[in-house]
Chain A
Amino acid sequence: MSGQGGVIVFAEQESGQIHPVTYELLGKGNEIAKKLSVGLSCVLLGSKIEEEKIKELIFHGADKVFSYDHPQLDEFDPIIYKENIVNLIKDEKPEVVLFGATHLGRSLGPRVAAALSTGLTADCTGLEVDSDKNLIQIRPAFTGNIFAHIKTKTRPQMATVRYKVMEKGKRDPSRKGEIIEKEAVVKNTGLKIIERIKGSEINLAEAEIIVSCGMGIKKQEDIPMIKELADAMDGLLGSSRPLVDKKWTKKEQQVGFSGNTVKPKIYVACGISGSPQHQAGMKDSDTIIAINNDPSAPIFKIADFGIVGDIYEVVPELVKKIKQKKAKSEK
């Protein structure tokens, strides 16, 4: 069986859709499977799973999809999900099992690992294979200031992998794979989902452009000035932690260690000094622009472009110029 000793990726669903981290896991999983000369499979749990979804997993690199379809799998129950995945791992004996480092993956992964008495490395940003075919798991530690390279003595080698770090597997609609329908094990675990409240539409993790404000803002009434820059750049407004603590901005706008980890194309930090905790959430952005009146602010160390100046003067000027430029290009 090609599944034996292979790589298994957990296919996470969010709001009835395959979470995009799954395709990133398939991209990385494929690389690892090739180095180990084994197959790549996916495990998908849900209710009324459309075949289209399974096919997408195959198009993105899965050789096999183990599909568990049962009404009780519609919502995430850690114990039920865990039991089915543990049973599959016991049958298939994979070398490597990967989860997304999402809320769900970081809640489920540890249960699976503990049930199997195996290791689990959290929130990896890099995965490699050494010459002895062991998985090297790389994760930022110590608020992202260092990278720990970790190996696992037991099998399977398990990791949760940070979203938006790995490349997605290339989609090839001509790819063929095997669909294996599995019988789900379900039971009453004492856990009941009463209600799902849709979160706000603000989704910083997905944003391509983010303009964030920090302690350089003197009063809450000034936040629209930063929002205006975000709007002019077609981006979203972000915030450092202190402004969230003051309730001037919302928790879902917070960038940093205890908030969102973001990786936009452009990150503009307005009046943010750049504490290690803030940097942990944004330093992997493609281009970082910092505006701060203190030339010694740590944010300038990681900025690609820095403006030493007063945000109350620079930001409105920037808004004006961008608007002028836009108006020109529309003509």
Chain B
Amino acid sequence: MENSSESKNSSGLNIIAIIKQVPDMKTVKFNVEEGKVDRSSAGVEINPFDLNALEAAVQIKETLGGTVTAISMGPPQAESALQEAVVRGADKGILLTDRKFGGADTLATSYTLAKAIEKILGGNYDLIVSGEKTVDGDTGQVGPEVAEHLGIPHVAYVNCVKKCEKEKITVSSEIGNDNYIIEVKLPCLITVTKDANDPRYISFGKKARAKNIEIKKCTIDDITKDDHDKFGIKGSPTWVFKIVVPPEKAGGGKIFTGSSEEVVQKLLNEMEEIL
């Protein structure tokens, strides 16, 4: 991967925020027959961890200058997530949308994003930020996989951006029970946790006006000419062949009601051997 020396001579950093539109997990239903999320059952939002990624990117831009480009792969409706990203401080949004991207696992998704960053953005970036994981997929794999495809270092689980300079970034990252202060040369990729910052408040008025913001849409033809087999379901080595819904615990356990003395005594009688 080429280091973007051009951008460094000019002022500021070129920052990319990778975001995903996800269903609202508090209300969304799962269609067991079809084995997939019933998207019509709930509203959509920007993956909450990606809000922290956007916020980190915008804060760095506000300190050092430069641009933030939000990029997302998804159905055409995901345009609204990128419009919101612009309201939240990104300079522009790019939506990768094509039926051929559909059914992608983390390998195909990360490949698509990395190729788009190279082809559409000309590999012209200093820093890439994403959320530590998405609330729907819950893998946390796309960030590090994008870094690998691009051949740049990454730090995952960043809970604080300590300092960003033109040539390097200093972050703190959770590994196990410990915190590591890590310095990385740019260009690099970081994935951030909820602790990294507090995403800014956006008023309803601002959000409402967002739908007029223009978002660039790109298809597979903007990214590649020939290797279509690496995208979407074709480019995905993993496949879900079965969905199992665990039975609810049969009628729950024993429920005690009564005075505090009574219920505590009943509980302790049951727990005799354990407590």
Looking at B75-83, B88-96, B208-216, B262-270, the stretch in contact with chain A turns out to be: B262-270
Looking at A29-37, A140-148, A170-178, the stretch in contact with chain B turns out to be: A140-148
Looking at A41-49, A59-67, A313-321, the stretch in contact with chain B turns out to be: A313-321
Q: Which of A92-130 contact B (CB under 8 A)?
A: 102-104, 106-111, 113-115, 117-123
Interface of B is mostly: mixed
Q: Which of A151-201 contact B (CB under 8 A)?
A: 151-154, 189-200
Provide the bound-state CA to CA distance between A119 and B157, in Å.
22
Q: A109-B141, A121-B238 are in contact. Are A307 and B107 (CB under 8 A)?
A: no
> How far is the CB of B146 from the nearest CB of chain A, in Å?
8
Q: Decide if A301 is an interface residue (CB 8 Å cutoff).
A: yes
Q: What residues of B have a CB within 8 angstroms of the CB of A19 in the complex?
A: 176
Q: Decide if B118 is an interface residue (CB 8 Å cutoff).
A: no
Q: Are B255 and A306 in contact, with the CB atoms below 8 A?
A: yes
Q: Are A194 and B178 in contact, with the CB atoms below 8 A?
A: no
Q: Are B260 and A309 in contact, with the CB atoms below 8 A?
A: yes
Q: Decide if B122 is an interface residue (CB 8 Å cutoff).
A: no
> How far is the CB of A233 from the nearest CB of chain B, in Å?
7
Chain A residue with the shortest CB-CB distance to B253? A304
> How far is the CB of B48 from the nearest CB of chain A, in Å?
8
Q: Are B238 and A120 in contact, with the CB atoms below 8 A?
A: yes
| Among A106, A138, A303: residue with most chain B CB under 10 A | A106
Q: What residues of B have a CB within 8 angstroms of the CB of A191 in the complex?
A: 153, 155, 182-185, 188
**B175 contact from A103, A148, A258, A313, Cβ within 8 A:** A103
Q: What residues of B have a CB within 8 angstroms of the CB of A82 in the complex?
A: 148
> How far is the CB of A166 from the nearest CB of chain B, in Å?
18
> How far is the CB of B175 from the nearest CB of chain A, in Å?
5
Q: What residues of B have a CB within 8 angstroms of the CB of A242 in the complex?
A: none
Q: B83-106 toward A: CB 8 Å interface, digit per residue (1/0)?
A: 000000000000000000000011
> How far is the CB of A73 from the nearest CB of chain B, in Å?
15
Interface of A is mostly: mixed
**B188 contact from A122, A190, A287, A304, Cβ within 8 A:** A190
Q: Are B148 and A114 in contact, with the CB atoms below 8 A?
A: yes
Q: What residues of A have a CB within 8 angstroms of the CB of B148 in the complex?
A: 82, 110-111, 114-115
Chain B residue with the shortest CB-CB distance to A194? B181
Q: Are B139 and A314 in contact, with the CB atoms below 8 A?
A: no
Chain B residue with the shortest CB-CB distance to A259? B194
A-side interface size class: 35 or more
**A113 contact from B32, B107, B246, B265, Cβ within 8 A:** B107
**B179 contact from A104, A106, A196, Cβ within 8 A:** A196
Q: A197-B179, A305-B270, A308-B256 are in contact. Are A119 and B238 (CB under 8 A)?
A: yes
Provide the bound-state CA to CA distance between A78 and B155, in Å.
8
Q: A111-B145, A150-B240, A153-B237 are in contact. Are A307 and B256 (CB under 8 A)?
A: yes
Provide the bound-state CA to CA distance between A153 and B186, in Å.
35
Q: Decide if B242 is an interface residue (CB 8 Å cutoff).
A: yes
**A251 contact from B141, B156, B184, B195, Cβ within 8 A:** B195
Q: Decide if A266 is an interface residue (CB 8 Å cutoff).
A: yes
Q: Decide if B140 is an interface residue (CB 8 Å cutoff).
A: yes
Provide the bound-state CA to CA distance between A266 and B37, in Å.
33
5 A-B pairs whose Cβ atoms sit less than 8 Å apart in the complex: A107-B154, A110-B148, A121-B238, A203-B177, A295-B257
Nearest 7 pairs of A and B residues by beta carbon: A190-B185, A119-B237, A199-B177, A122-B139, A119-B238, A114-B148, A149-B242
